[in-house]
Amino acid sequence: MTQVSGRPLRADARRNRERVLTAARAVFAEQGHDAQMDDVAKRAEVGVGTVYRHFPTKEALIDAIALDAFERLLAFATEQVAREDADPWEALEATMWASAEILAGDRAVAEVMAEMAGPLTFDEALQEKASAAMTALVERAQAAGALRPDVIVDDIVMVMCGVGTATRKPHSCTEAWRRHVAILLDGLRAGSAVSDLTLKPCS
């Protein structure tokens, strides 16, 4: 994400891009999806043209903010997959906790995800890497008999998106997302399965 027209960005351009991203995180955290590019430029102390030079649309800027969080999660999941001697359930559990920590810790991402109607778009190769990592973690946990056998990767992804969205909703408990992740993990354990998720076919 540091290239324009296939060429590496100059040092000053990279610094400006980082300033814009830092400012955008703060602005979207405060204002949510309604934040404007002018607000980001003002916070970054750059001209609005500089913002548009790096991010031609607000959606492109939002994607860049979310991409950073996504890449951090992918790095963690990939690390867990590489630990072939690790307990399969603990590897999956650690990845889910890390995902929730990233979402809860980045208010801008949580605010944006809570208000967006459509999906975030990432590089296809990056999505494939994430899918492969999560598939490996899920299949290992199921092979070990720890994860209920009727769960699919999409289930994990969607419930974690729900946790991310919920971090911005009012709750009577502090850091309620920790409660939500604990509830989800209990429901994903093979020994907790009651309902049959295969009654409705998946496409």
Closest by Cα among 63, 18, 24, 17 to 42: 24
| 16 in a structural domain | yes
Which one has a higher pLDDT value, 191 or 200? 191
Domain total in the chain = 2
Together in a domain, 182 and 93? yes
- pLDDT tens for 86-106 read 999 999 999 999 999 888 777
Q: What is the pLDDT of residues 41-57, one digit of tens each?
A: 999 999 999 999 999 99
Q: Is residue 77 part of a domain?
A: yes
199 in any annotated domain: no
Parent domain of 44: 1-56
User: Any idea what the CATH number is for the domain that residue 119 is in?
Assistant: 1.10.357.10
In terms of domains, do 181 and 84 share one? yes
Alpha-carbon gap, residue 45 to 14, rounded angstroms = 15
Residue 21 belongs to domain with CATH number = 1.10.10.60
Q: Are residues 95 and 158 in the same domain?
A: yes
Task: Provide the H-helix boundaries in the chain.
Answer: 11-31, 37-44, 48-54, 58-82, 88-105, 107-115, 124-143, 153-166, 176-188
